[in-house]
Structure 1
Amino acid sequence: MARFPTGRTAFVVIHGIGEQNPFDTLDGFGRGLLELFDRQGINYRLAHKLKRHPEEGWTESFLHISPKNRGKSAIDIHEVYWAYLTEEQITAAEIRQWLEDTLAGVKTFFDENQQLIREYEQADQVEQLQKLNKKLRWGARLYPPVSAALQLLDPLSRLTGGWGEVALKWLGDKASPYLTGYLGDVAIYTTTDRKSKFFNLRQQILRDSLAMLRAVLADEEVERVILCGHSLGSVIAYDTLNRLQIEASLPEAEELPLDKIKGLITFGSPLDKIAFFFRQHAGKEQWLRGQILGQLHSFKSKPLCFNDPPVTFDDPVKHVFADLPWVNYWDRQDPVSGRLNLYRIDPEDNVELKLGKPWGLAHVAYWEHVPMYADFAGRFLGLQATAS
């Protein structure tokens, strides 16, 4: 029988793409951790807590887990809920245009960065990225003409049983929710163009994540904070720490106990794919812009440019999280995830799981995979027993 982890720990968990409701993240992460405790015979008390955040003007609900014997140790689970910000904010047509515009330059990026690929990526992953690019481009191109053709044929189809109307409805029912609910979140969050109407939504998501992390850090009773992100939430978690690192570099930086942040956990993470497909990249001749972008996205990232600039300048960013432990969980049947090779993660911290789910469905199976909780509980909570 294992003992309840000592000390006061707070997990801040960020959900990913798709349809999400408030407290889904608390439920999924909380049940997974409690299942681990049950299997290991850890006795605990569970409570729903409320906390007022006066500066942001809202009241938070979070989970509080404590030992049955009422000791001082405890685990709090906080969620960053952002899905409401992107709900119905982008149309299928806008997503298709975004996809075409984004993917148009990917082949050029691959061609111009063969050294990058040879340096970081294993051959099978490069091939997967290139195949994914082709599939996405074909999908973006085929949807509009197929939809238009069905609409043109619809009057004729009504004379022969209405198959066109049925097919058009099927296409809309199946493809549009996927585009707006999943790709839509990616399209909105990866927008870096300040002129885009989606840029402010991305900034608000980051502000909410930063506000939650700051509030947890400000709690004097909390001794260690672990930031967690699933799917696109892992990208938000990464950007949150990167932004916090930049803010800590400013002369007028707010004094925060950043040493409380003890780790980053990502699962089902597309961070490598985001870096290839959607991050800002500088052209070959833009050696000044390339250095600036590299320094502004430098949290545990490896260089994405191997061209030696004629002049280099000092990095103003204080790398306060350079030694932060980071564990990434992935599964071969999850097309979104993968080993993160573009970031400074030790090989043993890129943990391949066997979720036992079919291709695609594995992406949502992490929440119930108790061995994952056992692994990071051993790393960050000192829990030595293993899940059965």
Structure 2
Amino acid sequence: MPEEFNENKFNIQRQAVLVIHGMGEQKPMDTLREFVESIAPEIPHSKKQKFFNKPDVLSETFELRRLTANEHRFTFKTDYFEYYWAHKMSGTKLMDVLWWFWTILLRRPKNIPDRLRWIYWFFWVSIFMSLLFILSYPLMKEDKCPENLIKNIYDYDFVKTHFCCYLKFVGKYLGSLTWLGINFFLIYYLGDVVRYTTPRAGNIKERQDIRETGIELLRKLHDAKIDVRNKDGSTYKRNKYDRIIVVGHSLGAVVAYDLIKFLWIKHNGTIKLTDTQLTEIEDAAYNLSKNPTAKNRDTFREIQLKLWKSQFNRLDSWRVSDFITLGSPLAHAKLLLAGNPEELVKKQAEREYPTCPPTPEGEKTFHFPISEVNFLHHAAPFALTRWTNITFEKDFVGGNNHVFGHGVENHFLRTKSKTGNIIPFWSHIGYWNKKEKEMINLIRKKMQLRIPTPQDKSEVN
């Protein structure tokens, strides 16, 4: 059930949605425009366009624009931004990917996420078959292979007799084409994941650049101010954006996680919470960790939002109310962010990777006192920010984000595409496809672009 609000006490004048694209050779604005066209609610009983295209004065490149949706029944006034980073990840070499891939294959099967283990075994079988082909090649003489290989492929005795010929046929006609496809996929898609998630010397500059630029954009959204005039003519400053929603697709979810993680350490020292507030959120987190039921998770999320609401209108507040991940590789964090599951748990315990709920110091608390004032620790952004993770069932790029805590609300949906329900990964690019009504409604619901009014608490269709 969506959380209820008192609109008289929760007045959002303007909100920002920051969309972060995924892996591959993306073009500026392609992701944002498609996302907004699908997700931004239609204006009821009106033929007016859903959004306006305006200059983006906050981003570092002139290639980007800001898409603005005016306030109406189903949305607050919303500015949609894209963080575009594809141009910062160039020069990927095939050996970078092959080296990473080999380190993954050398891991023990138990250290491979369950959702990806079939891929692990698929590649080991492929390697075995390739070696078999290489070793068998000297035995393959041209005059020993009949011409009717394809015609007799269903004849078991024939295939067994001419097995080497079939290996040669595959190597001769399909090998080059297959290698071309693998080469393209490894460099232009998987290459981004490998280089961003692997802190090798050759990747540090790109990782740092992507993070710095993204953090700067998120910081600008926090720092943007407007002048408001009082009745007596005096003016005061208020936040331009009362609320920020961060949406990450694919590898963009990993980038978004990093932006939240690193920007939080500049804000946690300014967020002052009462003893009552801290007790409430820490009790909810403790109960959730001991009994991870949907009811306890919903209670925790309600208190997250309650704490966020208590501070959002301050000039130095933490504005990120919601983090939405779509087809997120963070589900495979023990593979991508650590050498094994134990290493990931250790880094989370050391608060290198923020969890939801936050990792406590000791049994329960995740705050510390300074001069009799309580502050949340440096890995506690998800004490205030709700995390919703959504995945198509056959999109193996994503999965259940339980490795980051039971406070993450996970959703699995079947795609409306028959192909997407059969072919693995096919649905990865379909999260805001207009045909995916159930997915679009779920994303809207979890973004909560408009607080339900007392007159209409029904779901937006």
Calculate the TM-score normalised by the size of structure 2: 0.62
What secondary structure sits across from 2:350 in the alignment? Answer: helix
Does the alignment pair 1:130 with 2:117?
yes
Does the alignment pair 1:340 with 2:359?
no
Distance 1:79 1:108 in 2: 38
Deviation of residue 183 (structure 1)? 1.1
| Count of matched residue positions in the alignment of Structure 1 and Structure 2 | 343
Confirm or deny: 8 A CA contact 1:44 1:67 kept in the other structure: no
* One of 392, 395, 412 as aligned partner of 1:352: 412
* CA separation of 1:297 and 1:187: change in aligned 2, threshold 3 A: same
Distance 1:223 1:292 in 2: 30
* CA separation of 1:25 and 1:39: change in aligned 2, threshold 3 A: farther
What secondary structure sits across from 2:78 in the alignment? Answer: strand
Aligned to 2:156: none
Gaps of 5+ in 1: 111-125, 157-162, 309-313
Distance 1:41 1:294 in 2: 53
Matches within 5 A, 1:233-312: 233-248=252-267, 257-273=316-332, 275-281=333-339, 290=346, 294-300=350-356
Residue type at the aligned position of 1:278: L
Confirm or deny: 8 A CA contact 1:102 1:278 kept in the other structure: no
* CA separation of 1:331 and 1:215: change in aligned 2, threshold 3 A: same
Aligned to 1:77: 80
Residue type at the aligned position of 2:35: F
Confirm or deny: 8 A CA contact 2:357 2:383 kept in the other structure: no
What secondary structure sits across from 1:177 in the alignment? Answer: helix
Distance 1:43 1:107 in 2: 55
Matches within 5 A, 1:1-388: 7-34=13-40, 36-37=41-42, 46-53=51-58, 60-67=64-71, 73-87=76-90, 89-107=91-109, 109=111, 127-136=114-123, 141=127, 167-193=174-200, 196-220=201-225, 221-248=240-267, 257-273=316-332, 275-281=333-339, 290=346, 294-300=350-356, 317=378, 319-346=380-407, 349-357=409-417, 358=420, 359=423, 360-368=425-433, 369-379=436-446, 380-381=448-449, 382=451, 384-386=457-459, 388=461
Distance 2:347 2:390 in 1: 30
* CA separation of 1:213 and 1:136: change in aligned 2, threshold 3 A: farther
User: Over aligned residue pairs, what C-alpha RMSD do you find?
Assistant: 4.2
Gaps of 5+ in 2: 1-10, 143-168, 226-239, 271-313, 369-375
Confirm or deny: 8 A CA contact 1:33 1:370 kept in the other structure: no
Distance 2:432 2:211 in 1: 23
What secondary structure sits across from 2:414 in the alignment? Answer: coil
* CA separation of 1:216 and 1:109: change in aligned 2, threshold 3 A: same
Larger Rg: 2
Distance 1:25 1:336 in 2: 18
Distance 2:133 2:315 in 1: 53
Deviation of residue 174 (structure 1)? 1.3
Confirm or deny: 8 A CA contact 2:42 2:50 kept in the other structure: no
Q: Deviations over 1:340-380 (max 9, x none)?
A: 11123447x21222322323211111112343343343342
Deviation of residue 319 (structure 1)? 1.9
Residue type at the aligned position of 2:338: Q
Confirm or deny: 8 A CA contact 2:197 2:336 kept in the other structure: yes
Structure 1 consecutive aligned stretches of length 4 or more whose deviation exceeds 6 Å: 39-42, 142-149
Distance 2:79 2:340 in 1: 41
* CA separation of 1:372 and 1:167: change in aligned 2, threshold 3 A: closer
Confirm or deny: 8 A CA contact 1:8 1:73 kept in the other structure: yes
Deviation of residue 45 (structure 1)? 5.2
Residue type at the aligned position of 1:378: K
Percent of pairs identical after alignment? Answer: 22
Confirm or deny: 8 A CA contact 1:371 1:386 kept in the other structure: no
Distance 2:133 2:29 in 1: 37
What secondary structure sits across from 2:248 in the alignment? Answer: strand
Deviation of residue 234 (structure 1)? 0.9
Confirm or deny: 8 A CA contact 1:98 1:187 kept in the other structure: yes
Confirm or deny: 8 A CA contact 1:53 1:60 kept in the other structure: no
Q: Deviations over 1:289-345 (max 9, x none)?
A: 946873111242787xxxx9xxxxx99625243231111111212111222111234
What secondary structure sits across from 2:42 in the alignment? Answer: helix
Confirm or deny: 8 A CA contact 2:24 2:189 kept in the other structure: yes
Distance 1:104 1:40 in 2: 59
